[in-house]
């Protein structure tokens, strides 16, 4: 499923809305790394691939901008393990 994801750099967040409900990943920049620190998907929209889409979008953004993906959030850690091509 395709999601419209918006980057809010002033909030260090990538967000999407589904059925009027907002999900997001929160990140921090550390040197040349983009570190996902929270992945929040409310129960009303869980199980629809929203978290995976947000994390992938954030890491694609990082790579596109010369940064390395990093994960503090447990979901993002697991996502990176499943996608070793992002671990640079």
Take residue 37 and report the two structure tokens written for it: 């620190």
| pTM for the model | 0.95
Residue 1: predicted pLDDT: 64
- Domains of the chain in start order, with CATH, are 5-86 (3.40.630.30)
As beta bridge partners, residue 27 has 36
Give the bridge partners for 38, in sequence order: 26
pLDDT in tens, the chain (88 residues): 678 999 999 999 999 999 999 999 999 999 999 999 999 999 999 999 999 999 999 999 999 999 999 999 999 999 999 999 998 6
Nearest Cα to Cα of residue 28 among 67, 56, 57? 67
What is the reported pLDDT for 40? 98
């Amino acid at each position: 499923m395709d999601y419209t994801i918006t980057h809010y750099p002033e909030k260090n967040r990538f967000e999407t809305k589904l059925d009027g409900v907002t999900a997001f990943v929160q990140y921090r920049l550390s040197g040349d790394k983009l570190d996902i620190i929270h992945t929040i998907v409310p129960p009303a929209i869980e199980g629809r691939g929203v978290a995976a889409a947000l994390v992938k979008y954030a890491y694609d953004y990082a790579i596109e901008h010369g940064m390395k993906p990093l994960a503090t959030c447990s979901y993002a850690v697991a996502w990176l393990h499943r996608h070793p091509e992002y671990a640079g």
